[in-house]
Amino acid sequence: IPVIDLPRSPFLPQSAAQVVIRGIPERMDICDDLRELFRCHGRILNLAIYNDGEGKFGSGTKRIGLLTYATEEEADIVIKALDRYVSFT
């Protein structure tokens, strides 16, 4: 698995934890679908989607999301709840 070096905002609290979301479909909207899927697992501080035009994210991964939760505990909860989650909508 390639290491993804994405920026971390200097304005985030030290307790904040980031989760990388791989394989985001083109039809999924950052403001609605993605936030709706993840908000019930904790306090989202920031959410961004990155498009990969250079193949840095690995084979078959064109879009990834960087989701920042207020605490590491909340990030752990979402990882356990949605690891390998597949949406067909």
Residue for token digits 């920031």? 46
From the first residue on, what is the mean pLDDT of each consecutive set of 10 residues in the chain (89 residues)? 56 82 75 80 86 67 82 89 66
The answer to whether residues 42 and 81 touch, using CB atoms and an 8 Å cutoff, is no
Q: What is the pLDDT of residue 2?
A: 43
Q: What is the pLDDT of residue 7?
A: 61
Confirm whether 44 is domain-assigned.
Answer: yes
| Residue 39 belongs to domain spanning | 17-84
Q: What is the pLDDT of residue 88?
A: 47
Q: What is the pLDDT of residue 31?
A: 66
Sign of CA dihedral 44, 36, 80, 47: negative
Q: What is the pLDDT of residue 83?
A: 77
Confirm whether 12 is domain-assigned.
Answer: no
Confirm whether 42 is domain-assigned.
Answer: yes
SS3 state of residue 47 = strand
Give the number of domains in the chain.
1
Confidence (pTM): 0.69
User: Residue 88 is encoded by which pair of tokens?
Assistant: 């067909």
CATH number at residue 80: 3.30.70.330
| Secondary element (H or E) of residue 48 | strand 44-51
